[in-house]
Chains A and B, each alone.
Chain A
Amino acid sequence: MGRPRQGSRDYASQPPPPGAQSNFPYRDGPWHLGPAHPQRHIANYNSQLPPCVGPFKMGFPAASRAKSPALRSCSPGRPGALFLPPAPSRDAVPPTGTGRRAAGGGRGRAGRGGRTPEGAEPGPAAEQPGNGGGARSPRVSRMASASTSKYNSHSLENESIKRTSRDGVNRDLTEAVPRLPGETLITDKEVIYICPFNGPIKGRVYITNYRLYLRSLETDSSLILDVPLGVISRIEKMGGATSRGENSYGLDITCKDMRNLRFALKQEGHSRRDMFEILTRYAFPLAHSLPLFAFLNEEKFNVDGWTVYNPVEEYRRQGLPNHHWRITFINKCYELCDTYPALLVVPYRASDDDLRRVATFRSRNRIPVLSWIHPENKTVIVRCSQPLVGMSGKRNKDDEKYLDVIRETNKQISKLTIYDARPSVNAVANKATGGGYESDDAYHNAELFFLDIHNIHVMRESLKKVKDIVYPNVEESHWLSSLESTHWLEHIKLVLTGAIQVADKVSSGKSSVLVHCSDGWDRTAQLTSLAMLMLDSFYRSIEGFEILVQKEWISFGHKFASRIGHGDKNHTDADRSPIFLQFIDCVWQMSKQFPTAFEFNEQFLIIILDHLYSCRFGTFLFNCESARERQKVTERTVSLWSLINSNKEKFKNPFYTKEINRVLYPVASMRHLELWVNYYIRWNPRIKQQQPNPVEQRYMELLALRDEYIKRLEELQLANSAKLSDPPTSPSSPSQMMPHVQTHF
């Protein structure tokens, strides 16, 4: 990474270095911005690491893994994690854990910091949520380790049917369910899991306040289902009192991650009602005045993900502020625009009063502000929302002047380029509701292009169609035409095409670019972040990408809460839409086309998507920075980047070759776009990823060989300098001493 990490962590919690201050042409606020996350725990983290990783091995040493009722009822040393017997009467009682946590509401992590995780608790380094590997019982993970190595694409769940080769196939119930610190078991039930791929499987389902966990009770299957409740979008009862068919009475759960789960339950004993109520309660906590799990999660990591993004530092990396652009704190209390971040970069020549006047003419006050500046030609990408032109074609001198000021920051070209992400018809139609676009008459010095990207509703329906053709069965006879009829890749193509245009205009067209759609938080975020990814190789590193997401999506108010519906039961909400998923898909397409250009691998993108829904981390919660600040998200929750950055090796692309200043233009042609099978079809056990990819495998072997040779060479050098006078004695040829390159090619 070409940027200094040292000192970055202190930055947010300290006054700015004097040098930085004096660079600012304009300054209007105190320096308390950026995530308020003093790094008070950092020192603690190391000492908190349990001496050994492998959480469940610790909790259940090999000797005690035998069936042991005693262990089952007292899961050792886990306060507040009572293992409730499956008694319906207890289900209604809020588990003590939740109560305790709720009472301690505002307690920061510093308060928890002192508590060392007990032996039974998973150590942070050992928890591997991306894989499920760490979340599974030792036996299962051992058996599956060969095939579920780091290449496994099945992130949150390992749904795999494996025949046990052992003689003693007794299910060991003491292994029960993996739990995160702060996770409490609510109930367990015996159910039939109706696996769409392998038929009904009898199992026990455990429901905690974070996940639904199913373990097969059948001797020849070691199926595990590990699903965070956050992915649940809808819970339906199937079958009624009169249902007669086998397994026709139960629950059908629709998930946000392209799958459905069906459980059949016994009709007697109210078990379905109980399960339905508990699931509803914990999957949709907002409707029940319960906190999202992220606020209960007590995981600790040795890296603090909240420090990854510091806006001042990121703008400084871009060389900002400079003579033309300044940092303003006009929005420090979110008074100018409640969906924008506190810190904004605006033209030096525009005063704060100018900004306020411009705000009145932009939808939701989302004024044009800088996203990215080209390091050489100093052209910029500016983002905003649509102008409030309306039916009457209103004009606003301040807005027009402001755009002119932006244009003038770049002397190379006399026009400012405006990309309106919408189809022109929609832009025109938006006038009826007060919106619109920049007309030629009003904005003489601007050129406007429409990028024809459709709205959130179209995208939502398109993804639904994708699910229809891949889950549970993959459409076979007319796969290609079915895929075409979903339009999903066509949308991807348009988004990529738009971003290419933005990037190209800035890079070779040498023109500054203004991007907006309607509100500037969906398509706009897609376009600016993808263009930045194409233009700036920094964003193609792991941390760079995290910063990109944190900046263009999270801080600029992509409405994650509404688009995803975290903890919300209203599954038909028209606000929901897979806009961020679409962005990640575009990134995947780029990484497919440029397999050496990204530091991260596919697994990285998948884990981001998994935790987009899981509610385990605070990263994607809420709609905008102001709401996050009110909820003290950075203090009360853990960041997803903590998890990722403390396991970085897992998410690295071995082929990564850092290339500074190389602009990546993907080919936005259907001939190269592919459905992301490893994400969209990953639940289908027959669509298992090729593990590992042979080219990658060979490359890893060569890497290891190279390292070994380098070591040898160093040793030889040492040895030689030690006995310089000795004649070469070794009679054995070197080939006998070390493995030679196996040229299997």
Chain B
Amino acid sequence: MLGKGVVGGGGGTKAPKPSFVSYVRPEEIHTNEKEVTEKEVTLHLLPGEQLLCEASTVLKYVQEDSCQHGVYGRLVCTDFKIAFLGDDESALDNDETQFKNKVIGENDITLHCVDQIYGVFDEKKKTLFGQLKKYPEKLIIHCKDLRVFQFCLRYTKEEEVKRIVSGIIHHTQAPKLLKRLFLFSYATAAQNNTVTDPKNHTVMFDTLKDWCWELERTKGNMKYKAVSVNEGYKVCERLPAYFVVPTPLPEENVQRFQGHGIPIWCWSCHNGSALLKMSALPKEQDDGILQIQKSFLDGIYKTIHRPPYEIVKTEDLSSNFLSLQEIQTAYSKFKQLFLIDNSTEFWDTDIKWFSLLESSSWLDIIRRCLKKAIEITECMEAQNMNVLLLEENASDLCCLISSLVQLMMDPHCRTRIGFQSLIQKEWVMGGHCFLDRCNHLRQNDKEEHQRQLSLPLTQSKSSPKRGFFREETDHLIKNLLGKRISKLINSSDELQDNFREFYDSWHSKSTDYHGLLLPHIEGPEIKVWAQRYLRWIPEAQILGGGQVATLSKLLEMMEEVQSLQEKIDERHHSQQAPQAEAPCLLRNSARLSSLFPFALLQRHSSKPVLPTSGWKALGDEDDLAKREDEFVDLGDV
């Protein structure tokens, strides 16, 4: 039932869940008086943001203790977001507002975050799109960040229902012109007054200087040069204005096939070997042209096959690796596992969780990406070879693999700034088609397959946050994506011995977290990234627990050490009695949950969640199940 045939992704049109059963009747919905009086919550608009339509007396469902209740409020749609203005967020006390997202509130859904919209008509759940003849009693919004919102429109005036529902559908589904994207009106309206610390900024790779800096940092400047041949995008719109190629390569070669067939430098390893990428030459039928292409490539290869260049190994990512379609299909299935409408659905799917997970193949794809990156790392690190990634446009899997390789090999990429620079270098400047892949303009699905390509990357990393980046990344790479290996001697696939030996020997040594890092890639070690995927599901939240608990202990200890340090400093300077301790920022751990630091606890009571559906048949073990534990000696009873 989950994720069947939703190929085509983001705005796919097929409902994965054919019907909807409402588990709560309106009369069961508890609302309290305070909420009905509708404390007016003001709508915060960003500069340039405009209110488009709104509806009042909308009931937002809140999942709690396996039953739902509702909060009244106003549902609005702007040119940037859908927002619900209830008064349940006023409960936050001061301590807790520090975790609030300052741009997007807890009940805000940016238009681009909307994945699917469903309406409930007579207890049946249907996908909503286009012009509606009939308006639903209930609106369910599945977000791309895996939140699920449910709004009951039963108590809303009919006029308002029409306006808000068609407004939301239009603004989230109708094709959009690029210039109408909200960020342009925002950028015009907002003053750009961010001060960048020059020492601490993300390298944007939009100048020749940035590339030279990167070449210098990795000591690639001995054999590679930054070129400005594409300045003003004269040669090719897909390529960045500045990029790096092998030093002896004549610049006019770049123009020859609009940048195709050119080995473009990504990164150099400490031993001098480099990671390169190349977009394939256009496919041609004509023998003459093919001949020309061949001799062109021969020339290129001659350049990079000669000393001082290392032996080159070519990795053709278009033919021997994952297809974009595979990734897209897997993600569509995978994400459905987390878009949970209610408790019953959660527990129903819980029993077959592992097989559902496996059938999505998502974790297997993650593993294959990591494995490919390890193989390339092995070539560069152990065999001192150059690796040339080859792909049609060199802007999808190339971005993915080359950033993974750099994360494994280059500790700089595991710092927050380094990681941001890496994204900028490999993905943004690397020409990854974010607009198409994320379908920001909502072109028809059939014309353009959107692919969730950057997701494998983010699954293998954490998003930069709270100054924890390095640890988090290490941790995720090592831990989340697996740390153990289990492929054993008699597994017999294509793995080269080299790879196996390299991998095993690395894992047999103790880890230097500031050096090469290889993730474990075997079955038990590749796990779901719970903090991303499970965070919005109330049933899956561990109250006061989860990895967050240890991290917050770590933060507390950091604070304590820092305050001690300050005290010592003070004593050295003034010998005055230390001042009263600054109040500890954090953090009653019991209030934290797996939502941290994205939001605070959603479940308001501390009642445990209990599975509502039970046992799956044991199958062939039924005999055993019927047996007595022990022979019961009845004696003379």
Contact = CB atoms under 8 A, between A and B. Distances in A.
A691 B544 CA distance: 26
A426 B540 contact: no
A278 B526 CA distance: 44
A596 B625 contact: no
A454 B484 contact: no
Contacts of B527: 674
A504 B522 contact: no
A712 B568 contact: yes
A699 to B, nearest CB: 5
Contacts of B547: 595, 695
14 contacts: A147-B510, A425-B626, A457-B625, A479-B523, A484-B352, A657-B589, A670-B353, A690-B479, A690-B483, A690-B511, A694-B475, A695-B547, A716-B568, A728-B574
Nearest to B356: A480
B195 interface: no
B143 interface: no
B358 A390 contact: no
A677 B561 contact: no
B553 A699 contact: yes
Contacts of A710: 564
B490 A473 contact: yes
A5 interface: no
A536 to B, nearest CB: 16
B509 to A, nearest CB: 8
A435 B509 CA distance: 57
Given A473-B486, A478-B358, A694-B471, A738 B630 contact: no
B614 A667 contact: no
A595 B543 CA distance: 12
A221 interface: no
Interface stretch (B52-60, B80-88, B604-612): B604-612
Nearest to A579: B629
B544 A595 contact: no
Contact of B355 (A484, A501, A720): A484
B486 A684 contact: yes
Given A594-B545, A702-B557, A686 B484 contact: yes
Given A458-B618, A483-B354, A744-B471, A501 B610 contact: yes
A743 B565 CA distance: 13
A503 B608 CA distance: 10
A433 B632 CA distance: 7
Q: Which 7 A-B pairs have the closest CB atoms?
A: A479-B523, A474-B486, A665-B608, A670-B353, A709-B564, A484-B354, A480-B358
A662 B608 contact: no
Contacts of A481: 354-355, 358
A456 B625 CA distance: 9
Contacts of B542: 593-594, 666-667, 672
B491 A473 contact: yes
Interface in B463-487: 467-471, 474-475, 478-479, 483-487
Contacts of B508: 685, 688
Given A473-B488, A490-B616, A519-B629, A434 B637 contact: yes
A274 interface: no
A677 B483 CA distance: 11
B351 A456 contact: no
Interface string A672-696: 1011010001001111101101111
A490 to B, nearest CB: 7
A675 B524 CA distance: 8
Interface stretch (A17-25, A68-76, A296-304, A492-500): A492-500
Given A493-B611, A670-B353, A430 B488 contact: no
Interface in B493-535: 504, 507-511, 513, 522-525, 527-528, 530, 534
Contacts, number: 288
A575 B630 contact: yes
B55 to A, nearest CB: 35
B560 interface: yes
Interface string B324-351: 0000000000000000000000110011
Contacts of B489: 196-197, 199, 473
B634 A728 contact: no
A662 B632 CA distance: 40
Interface residues of B, number: 96
Contacts of A522: 629
A695 B548 CA distance: 11
B574 to A, nearest CB: 7
A631 B93 CA distance: 62
Contacts of B567: 713
B488 A686 contact: yes
Contact of A677 (B354, B524, B610): B524
A646 interface: no
Contacts of A423: 615, 625
A699 B350 CA distance: 34
Contacts of B590: 659, 662
Contacts of B615: 423, 452, 490, 494
Given A473-B490, A667-B541, A518 B628 contact: yes
A254 B549 CA distance: 40
A257 interface: no
B444 to A, nearest CB: 35
B627 A457 contact: yes
B544 A662 contact: yes
A246 B350 CA distance: 48
A197 B553 contact: no
A720 B575 contact: yes
Nearest to B611: A497
A135 interface: no
A630 interface: no
A690 B478 contact: yes
B539 interface: yes
B549 A655 contact: yes
Nearest to B483: A690
A668 interface: yes
Contacts of B616: 490
Given A454-B624, A667-B609, 9 more contacts: A363-B632, A461-B621, A474-B487, A476-B522, A517-B629, A575-B630, A695-B550, A709-B565, A720-B571
B36 interface: no
Interface string A417-435: 0000001011001100111
B180 interface: no
Contacts of B607: 504, 508, 665
Contacts of A493: 350, 611
A455 B629 contact: yes
B200 to A, nearest CB: 13
B436 interface: no
Interface in A346-403: 360, 363, 388, 390
B550 A595 contact: yes
Contacts of A452: 614-615
A659 B528 CA distance: 30
A698 interface: yes
Contacts of B549: 594-597, 655
B572 interface: yes
A489 B350 CA distance: 11
Nearest to B534: A671
B50 interface: no
Most buried by A among B509, B544, B627, B630: B630
Contacts of A434: 632, 634, 637
B486 A480 contact: no
A475 B523 contact: yes
Nearest to A487: B618
B627 A728 contact: no
Nearest to A673: B353
B569 interface: yes
A112 B432 CA distance: 77
Contacts of B539: 667, 669
Contacts of A657: 553, 589
Contacts of B471: 694-695, 698, 744-745
A698 B544 CA distance: 21
A429 B626 contact: yes
